[in-house]
Amino acid sequence: MADKPLLPELMKAHGISRRGFLKYCATLTSMMALPPILAPKVAMALEGASRPSVIWLSFQECTGCTEAITRSYAPTIEDLIFNAISLDYHHTLQAASGEAAEAAREAAMEENWGNYLVIVDGSIPLANPGFSTIAGISNLEMLKQTAEGAAAIVAVGSCAAFGGIPHADPNPTGAVSVADIITDKPIINVPGCPPIPVVMTSVLAQFLAFGLDSIEVDDLGRPKAFYSETIHDRCYRRPFYDKGLFAESFDDEGAREGWCLYKLGCKGPTTKSVCATVKWNDGTSFPIQAGHPCLGCTEPDFWDNGGFYKPLSVPAGDYRKLGLAAVAGGAVLGVAGGAIARSVKSSAAAKHEPVTPDDLEKKS
Amino acid sequence: MSASLEKGLNALREQIDAPVASFFTSCVSCGICAEACLFYQETGDPKYTPIHKLEPMRRIWSNEFTLLGRAKSMLGMGRKVTEQDLADWEELVYDSCTMCGRCTLVCPVGNDITMMIRKMREGMSASGNAPEELVAGAKRHWEKGSPMGDLLPALTAHVKNVEKSTGIQVNVDKKGVDYLVILSAQEVAVYNEVIEALARILDKAGVSWTFSSEAFEGTNVGIQIGSKDLAREFVSRTVNAAEKLKVKGVISPECGHAYQALRWEGPNLIGRTYPFEVVHVIELLDRLRADGRLKTKGMDHAKLTFHDPCQINRRGGINHEPRRLLNMVADNFTETEDAGTMNWCCGGGGGVGSNESATELRLQAFQRKKRQFEAVAPEKIVTMCAYCHHILEESLEHYDMDIEVQGLTELMAEYLEDA
């Protein structure tokens, strides 16, 4: 594996010009919110990257994340990123299978103990280890084994980052996220269902070029470069929101005019992602542009945050019963409190003795 | 009978109503009331924070009127209000609060702190923690008709003198006239020039009026000391006299809390509306001005400024009237800073001026007005409250400031157009 060709040779083989490569590096640099002056450094780092070993583990997932990254808009360049790393194990992509595949993983781990990168997509079932196994090894066990010698873990997709759809109520498999299990390794969450491909590769590129410490994350472990602004803040339909112009249904005039989808359940205001700026499929579009409200897939528990078509201001869950109980309870307490206060006051009034100037002094 | 702690606590319980409960509940301890308080501003001592002056009442509310407080009290956790607490609070409730109403105006959650101080004083007086000067004043008022004793002989003498010097007949106990004129003890005893001034102005305007030998005193120690029973008795005297004389209106004098007592608290104290109108004398003069019945000649060229009495302006609503009148007769009228509804108190209102123990604090508090007067440097300060008049004179003298103080009615009479 160490004799893989370096990036410049690969570029030539794939018919990519150096100019194209540098453009890609500049894009990455700006996406990572790095100053443009660092673009050459990104290029140099990628060209001469030390090719760390990467092990990609897929657990309870739909392969959507892998599909997205391999079908991204510049597949050859994104592919190169994979070539800049040494992807030693990825059970969807690798040719080997069965014991040979597991042997490859074990060999990579042994060879690079303490230095390899683990990428995880999919959640881990805890209810029964038999719910998801690979080569007879449960997901939980494989994650623990592999993570032990890892330098860092990248949890790709909402399943790995937050539990995702398997974790959704009633969570039959007891699915949890990587961070719920591994607590002693740095974990970078790249959520999304799936994440935007270029976001995934940018995180890897930044890791390659500047190391783990250069990746600043938010309180949910997401790289700030891609998850610090809401979709709403950058949405091209935002002016309609500000003017109070909303589509009320999917076939009304507002929908045809491209007004704000807030009332149709858009989660853009509470969802942090670069969808509205980077967009998907070679920058072609993103859900809101296609006329569908944002589902909020980069946020934890997006599947259970009320209905996809319920406006954000409508509370999720069985709030009516709870609310009624709270109102009733409050009313009972209020009436009781009021009755007590009134009785204290009226008994005081009953005890009132008219005051004359003679009553103003204490006489002993 | 005697005052006692139990009576005081009972009086406080009686005073805690829905507004008080909601005020205590909604206080967010922001401290903005302190910034509005003359006594906190001039001393910087946080104990003068207005809402803190209500702590004993707040504790009773919390211990006895709230579910959580009652539960705590049952477990012996609520801090009870003791004899000592009330004694300690006397200074805060009586000496360092003129009930000027600034704190109420600035409270961001709309708490009427001034009204709560008034209520708090009910408990203080019933528990025997009212200042001795106010207690003595209440006794004199109860027995002799005025906190300064029996002033009827003095009033009778003034009436005679005015009749002699002006040739105008001054009615006493005359039925069916338009107005019953009430004075304040301070005016009868000290600033009696106002009687002649008023007689001349009302005569010229063709307003019929009378004094009552039974009720010429507008002061109400019951309001100051905080006793609704006393306040009701004192207000009733005026109401009864006015009803007996069948007047259309009662003219409230240049006296802050007399106006407060008769105009705003009175109907609540006696539990019904009046069959007559209450009008402040300056309000009436401004009406006469608007009707063209008050005509003046000449101008006072001296540099004048005006002191707003808290109870008449901020808590009484009479703000533009005195200014319109002043501009009729003064061509060098300059306002002080904060003049109008956010004016600072003279420091003597709400009974503070009569408390011997408050003198030092009151004079310290006066420094705010002192600085404001120094900035304007007037030759004369005009006001429309005899007690402000008295406190201003006393404080100016203390600080060696040679500025004349005059009542507005008197100033207007000076420039009254001759027949």
A209 and A249 co-located in one domain:
no
A140 and A282 co-located in one domain:
no
Closest Cα of chain B to A194: distance in Å? Answer: 47
Q: How many domains does chain A have?
A: 2
Task: Tell me the two tokens of residue B164.
Answer: 């002699």
Mean pLDDT, residues B46-61 taken together: 96
For B138, the closest of A348, A357, A362 (CB atoms) is A357
Task: Tell me the two tokens of residue A98.
Answer: 């069965």
For A333, the closest of B67, B135, B141 (CB atoms) is B67
The answer to whether residue A205 is domain-embedded is: yes
For residue A353, the chain B residue with the least C-alpha distance is B7
- B188-246 pLDDT, tens per residue? 999 999 999 999 999 999 999 999 999 999 999 999 999 999 999 999 999 999 999 99
Lowest mean per-residue pLDDT among A39-43, A296-300, A334-338, B177-181:
A39-43
A106 and A185 co-located in one domain:
yes
A205 and A261 co-located in one domain:
no
Distance CA B276, CA B278 (A): 7
Domains and CATH numbers, chain B: 5-129 (1.10.1060.10), 134-290 (3.40.50.1860), 304-414 (3.40.50)
Say yes or no to pLDDT of B112 above 70: yes
Beta strands B404-407; B380-383: pairing state: parallel
Show which of A162, A192, A226 is a domain's final residue: A226
Residues in B touching A329 (Cβ below 8 Å): none
The answer to whether residue A88 is domain-embedded is: yes
Query: Which segments of B27-167 are extended strands (E)?
Result: none
Say yes or no to pLDDT of B10 above 60: yes
Show which of A226, A255, A277 is a domain's final residue: A226
CA angle B112, B116, B118 (to 5 degrees): 120
Residues in B touching A341 (Cβ below 8 Å): 16, 21, 65-66
Which band of pLDDT confidence, cut at 50, 70 and 90, is reported for residue A2? very low
CA distances for A37 relative to A23, A28, A42, angstroms:
13, 12, 10
Residue to mutate among A343, A360, A363, with most B CBs inside 10 A, is A360
Show which of A270, A285, A304 is a domain's final residue: A304
A170 and A255 co-located in one domain:
no
Residue to mutate among B5, B7, B13, B70, with most A CBs inside 10 A, is B13
Closest Cα of chain A to B385: distance in Å? Answer: 26
Residues in A touching B7 (Cβ below 8 Å): 353, 359
Mean pLDDT, residues A328-352 taken together: 90
A43 and A189 co-located in one domain:
yes
The answer to whether residue A337 is domain-embedded is: no
Residues in B touching A352 (Cβ below 8 Å): 10-11, 14
CA distances for B42 relative to B339, B362, B400, angstroms:
18, 10, 19
Domain that holds residue A259: 231-304
Q: CATH number for the domain including A273? A: 4.10.480.10
- B240-279 pLDDT, tens per residue? 999 999 999 999 999 999 999 999 999 999 999 999 999 9
Burial label for A33, CB within 10 Å (0-12, 13-18, 19+), is middle
A340 touches B: beta carbon within 8 Å: yes
Burial label for B401, CB within 10 Å (0-12, 13-18, 19+), is middle
The ipTM estimated for the assembled molecules is 0.77
Lowest mean per-residue pLDDT among A8-22, B119-133, B379-393:
A8-22
